[in-house]
Amino acid sequence: MRQPAGRPIAIALHGGCGVMSRNDLPAADWALAEEVMRTALRRGWDLLAEGAAAVDAVEAAVVVLEDSPHFNAGHGAALNREGVHELDAAIMDGSTGAAGAVCSARTIRNPVQAARAVLRHGEALLLAGSAADRFAASVGLPPAPQEYFTTERRLAALRTMQARRSAGTQATASEQEKHGTVGAVALDSAGHLAAATSTGGYTDKPAGRVGDSPLIGAGTFARDGVCAVSCTGAGEFFIRHVAAYGIAARVQHLGETVAVAAQYMIETELSPHRIGAGLVALDAQGQVSAPFNTEGMFRGWITPDGTIFTATHR
């Protein structure tokens, strides 16, 4: 990818930590997931190259991931304990601090678009449940029936987790069985940063459970001149540590690089909880950090020099 003339641009994304073992899927499936990530990156990069805002780029990239059954967001999202999809998403514009989010939505085809609409509307920051669904419909976003979000893979995961719960072995479930998230961060040609995150939560979650993804400062955060962050993992702990903002605070107030701050959050702050955790972060110069502590994390980026990279495992 060629860097356009002018100030640097960059985009990075994740598709969730705790991916399956390489042996659990054919090589072609892993390759297809990476191709979806490359499509999402190119979608965002093309907008940035045309001079679009970072917030436009992260929204566009996340929509691609929401539309793919390979990731736990939108089509292919996890099912809760009642066999229902409840979807969460957030987006933040680092240039203004404005943000929008939805949680526990059930009929929004692309939750990140609803989050962006909440940001634009400006009256509220976070809308929940049926109110979020009604708001999305009122601004013309396409609705979708519950069946649209369901895939056989997610049904199988729900059956497995319910069996584990009955047997009292939930703690031994793999990260892939439990949860997943998608997110993107971007730097535009005006030097502005943005972040967006979307998820179906974790498989067999209690009805009404909301994780870190739609909570600004916990799973999603962006501030110009500092960094943009999107997190993935056991959301309750990201909330308790205000993880996304915590990384930005270390960069801004301690002068740490985004790589050092992000690594500290995963390897030091969150490590006592022994949870699966990962994130993608981008600083004001377009430097990417994507630490994780699981066997793998779907991730990819295009750096200011135009280099494109995607991976699923270590």
Q: Name the catalytic one among 39, 107, 160, 181.
A: 181
- Bridge partners of residue 199, in order along the sequence: 88
The question of whether 268 is a catalytic residue gets the answer: no
Buried b (16+ CB within 10 A) or exposed e, 61-94: bbbbbbbbbbbbbbbbbbbbbeeebbbbbbbbbb
Q: How many CA atoms lie within 13 A of 89 on its CB side?
A: 34
Residues 282, 286, 292: CA angle, nearest 5 degrees: 35
**Computed from CA positions of residues 255, 256, 258, 263, in that sequence, does the dihedral angle turn out positive or negative?**
negative
Strand order in the sheet with 227-233: 220-223, 227-233, 277-283, 288-289
Token pair in block for residue 277: 């955790």
Alpha-carbon distance 302 to 199, whole Å? Answer: 23
Nearest 5°: the CA angle 226, 53, 106 is 95
By annotation, the residues acting in catalysis are 181
